[in-house]
Amino acid sequence: MSNWIIAGLGNPGSQYEHTRHNVGYWWLDQLASELGQSFKTESRFNGQLIQFTTPEHKIWLVKPLTFMNRSGQSVSALANFYKVPPENILVIHDELDLPAGVARLKRGGGHGGHNGLRDIISQLGSKEFLRCRIGIDHPGNSKQVADYVLSKPSAVDRENIMASIDNSRRVLPDVLAGNLEKAMNWLHSQ
């Protein structure tokens, strides 16, 4: 049985709940709802957690409560405690370089200016974790990015984002089974 961490990135607090930067939380909330489970705050991991088991895997869902730029504290504490290697960590995050409604999977790579990824790479000492990038579109001007990610998407964009979350959740069994290429082929054709 392999151990996995699925981390959805976002910022805690009701003022951030519906903002673009919180799509990682949205993703995990959808999965938790499907599982019929609720997140519980675990202070030693600086996050809200759900743990569940499938016949092949023990899986921890985590929503770091450290704010985006300290996400790595939560993810690394959980990974170190349960001996989960970076290769078995899936991080779900917002992606400015993809249109709303598009989701992409990849392993490794840089942080692309994303402070949550930057901190996870720093805290884990590895870039080799999986990423599920949920497109939120770009405001068009780099000076507007901070305000943009912390604002609510339009109704149409939110609908598109939720569709991409559904699509990316659909390939989770393949991702966990090590069939990343199969998962990518399907997801990237949506």
Indicate which residues carry an active-site annotation: 21
Contact 171, 183 (CB under 8 A): yes
